Structure 1
Amino acid sequence: MSGTWLPPAQYLATLPKATVYGCLYVTDEADRPLQLRSVRNPAVWQWPGGNMDPGETPWECAVRECEEETGLHVAGEPRLLAVHFLPPLGNWSTHKVGFVFDGGRLSRELIDSIVLDPEEHTEVAVRSVEEWRTVMPAFSFRLLAVTAQARRTGVAAYLEQSGPA
């Protein structure tokens, strides 16, 4: 842009657009990540989460989506593990920015109490990080791996991805 001043509405129209999602990285007590199988694409495993609704923060979104998708309510202060950035891909015409929060470690009893929204997910699975590597595309696994490392080290991760490899 040049140094020309624009009225706010015109200036805002020149800025890149983005959707924002919030999700929860949840594990069992042995630190094995829990993921949900997508109804829309059974090859996709994902954490409880989704796109923000108007007026929500990323944390509020992650907590709401987790409750809607699993029946579990996460309380407490948000602990950010990773920020994930994706440029427009395929038919998706906006950037996508994700906030991955620590959803905690769940007991076997809590995991067994999960009630999935059948319109969104068909299965809950808990596997080690290395076991997840064998069932996920490298593109998706990369976010899982950096998030697991962020929880282990206490240092939040930032991941930019240009698309599936």
Structure 2
Amino acid sequence: MLKATAFACLFFTDEHDNPLQLRAVYSRTHPWQLVGGTMDPGERPWDTALRECQEETGIAFEGPTTLLASVFGRPGKEWPYATIGFVFEGGRLTCDQIRSLALDPAEHDEARVLPLPEWQELMPQRDFARLEAVMEARRSGTAAFFDSWDWDD
């Protein structure tokens, strides 16, 4: 019986620690997203992050495996299941690597790198708060537990 859905992603920045996000063509409620996606049945979180990274950007990331944050959200009207997520460290990408990302047009139509404060205007508050928590986890070296990524505000 399905009780929760799970996702895993990689958190990348440019060389100046500005977060990289992808604009989803399929989600008006979560327009800007980290590189990653929903786990397939039987798949482990790290394997999901690697698979999704390859599919969404063309990057064949290898590691190391460093957890930056775990994410939990309660179900809501839009999505009737709890959501559990894992955000892994992806590291810093060069300008050339960012320019050469191979986006899947069925999922994302743009990759953008911006300073953290500029993301706030482009994202729902809960998504921005998660992004802030991930940035702080990277800065501090302490993994975040972000448990307010709820579907209903």
TM-based fold match above 0.5: yes
Question: In structure 1, the residue corresponding to 2:50 is in which secondary structure?
Answer: helix
Distance 2:123 2:41 in 1: 31
String of CA shifts for 1:13-53, please: whole Å, max 9, x gaps: 6xx71111101111001000000001013561001111111
| 2:122 alignment partner, SS class | coil
Maintained 8 Å contact 1:38/1:45:
yes
Q: Aligned residue for 2:64?
A: 77
1:113-154 CA-partner distances (Å, limit 9, x unpaired): 101000000001000111111211211100000000000000
Q: CA offsets, 1:34-76, max 9 Å, x none?
A: 0000101356100111111122110110110011011111112
* Larger RCO (CA within 8 A; separation ≥ 6): 2
Q: Alpha-carbon deviations, 1:63-99, whole Å to 9, x = none?
A: 1001101111111221000111011122422211000
Q: 1:100 to 1:116 in 2, by over 3 A?
A: same
Which of 17, 25, 36 is the equivalent residue of 2:22? 36
Hey, what does 1:105 align to over in structure 2? 92
Query: Paired residue for 2:134?
Result: 147
1:138 is matched with 125
* Alignment partner, residue 47 of structure 2: 60
Could you list the runs of 5+ residues in structure 2 that have no partner in the other structure? none
1:109-128 to 2 correspondences below 5 Å: 109-128=96-115
Look up the match of 2:7.
21
Paired with 1:37 and 1:138, the residues of 2 have a C-alpha distance of 16
Q: Using the alignment, how far apart are the partners of 1:76 and 1:124 within structure 2? A: 21
Stretch deviating more after TM superposition (115-124 or 82-91): 82-91
Contact 2:76 2:152 in 1 (8 A): no
Q: Distance in 1 between matches of 2:81 and 2:113?
A: 32
1:163 paired residue number = 151
Q: Is the 8 A contact 1:48 1:66 kept in 2?
A: yes
Q: Secondary structure at the match of 1:26?
A: strand
Other-structure match for 2:83: 96
Contact 1:139 1:164 (C-alpha < 8 Å) held by counterparts:
no
Question: What is the aligned-residue identity percentage?
Answer: 46
- Compute the TM-score of the two structures, normalised by the length of structure 2: 0.93
Partner secondary structure for residue 134 of structure 1: helix
Moved over 6 A (4+): none
Aligned residues: 151
- Indicate if the aligned counterparts of 1:24 and 1:47 stay in contact, CA closer than 8 A: yes
Q: Given residue 33 of structure 1, which amino acid in structure 2 is its aligned partner?
A: P
